[in-house]
Structure 1
Amino acid sequence: MIAAAVFVIFPLCLAIAAFSDLFTMTIPNRVSLILAISFLIIAPLTGMAIPVIGMHLAAGLAVFCGCFALFASNVMGGGDAKLLIAAALWFGFNQSLILFIGCVGVIGGLLTFAILMIRSQSNTILAIGLPVPGSILFAKKIPYGIAIAIGGFMAFPHSPMLINALETLK
């Protein structure tokens, strides 16, 4: 039962955040809150030791410091920062966190480039009638929740939470 929660909660929250950011340019606070609270509930139930949970919390704190700086300099939105921090809890302070942040950065760069290309061709896209959300065409922001979700999906197989949940199934 606990393994099923690990398999479902993290990916589902990331998917909800990505779609919400795509269509509304906002990430609901409850998504980040569910990610953080569910980690705090599930981690001890999976048998994770207190020092290991502490390292996961330290990872969240480290990502918080980086996101706070980016938010304060108006480079990152608040919803994106909260989602990134909550997702970092699921990875811990290890190589999987570096993989997660790296994937988010690369995917975010590609996403930004693609959206800027789409916006530069918005008149053609509107004339053809392609179904592109208005938030992509007209907003001045980038829906970075999509990059966070894709990066999370890419790095999640390497996360200690998922690896531990898979080992309980053996």
Structure 2
Amino acid sequence: MTGAAPLFSVVLLVPALLYAAYGDWLRRDIPNKLNAAIALTAPLYWWAAGFALWPEIAIIVGLALALFILFTGAFAIGAMGGGDVKMIGALALWMTPMQLPIMLVVMAIAGGILTTVMLIYHRLRKKPEKPEVPYGIAIAIGGLWVVLNEILTIGAVTI
């Protein structure tokens, strides 16, 4: 990430991820407009980062599409909400092929911790229904981890 790219990440993506996590916690819903905004502002980030249409942007779009299709399968079997699937696909548009696996691993770890905490809470309260896990929080943590790590790394290199 060079030039204005970190600025675009902080100004556009970080607030969107925080808003998505907060909204998912409160309402168990990630608005389609928010996911669309995350996806549609990715080209501004690509431009600021200086990515070439071929092969960089083509690879990013292809990976985001593949990830969206993969997680659509999780939605189809009831393992994930539709807003979560859309958010993963939109966020993947902001990740390079090197960043995407890191985001997914951090997301999976955060999601596992979040699910465990929600299950314990549910059992302690003796609630009979299945808990709804606000997985948008885990997705946001994965994205924030990558974005903030990139910004901190750049800051350390330029000092």
Superposition TM-score tier, normalisation by shorter sequence: 0.7 to 0.9
Q: How does 1:87-166 map to 2 (within 5 A)?
A: 87-92=91-96, 94-122=97-125, 140-157=131-148
Q: Which has the larger radius of gyration?
A: 1
Given that residues 122 and 131 in structure 2 are in contact (C-alpha distance below 8 angstroms), is that contact kept between their aligned partners in structure 1?
Answer: no
TM-score, normalising length: structure 1:
0.78
**Structure 1 unmatched ranges of 5 or more:** 124-137
- How far apart, CA to CA, are the structure 2 residues paired with 1:16 and 1:104? 17
Tell me the percent identity.
Answer: 29
- How far apart, CA to CA, are the structure 2 residues paired with 1:142 and 1:7? 27
**Structure 2 unmatched ranges of 5 or more:** none
RMSD over equivalenced CA pairs, Å: 2.5
Match of 2:36 in 1: 33
Task: Pick from 5, 8, 13 the counterpart of residue 5 of structure 1.
Answer: 8
Aligned pairs, number: 151
TM-score, normalising length: structure 2:
0.83
- How far apart, CA to CA, are the structure 2 residues paired with 1:20 and 1:157? 21
Given that residues 112 and 142 in structure 1 are in contact (C-alpha distance below 8 angstroms), is that contact kept between their aligned partners in structure 2?
Answer: yes
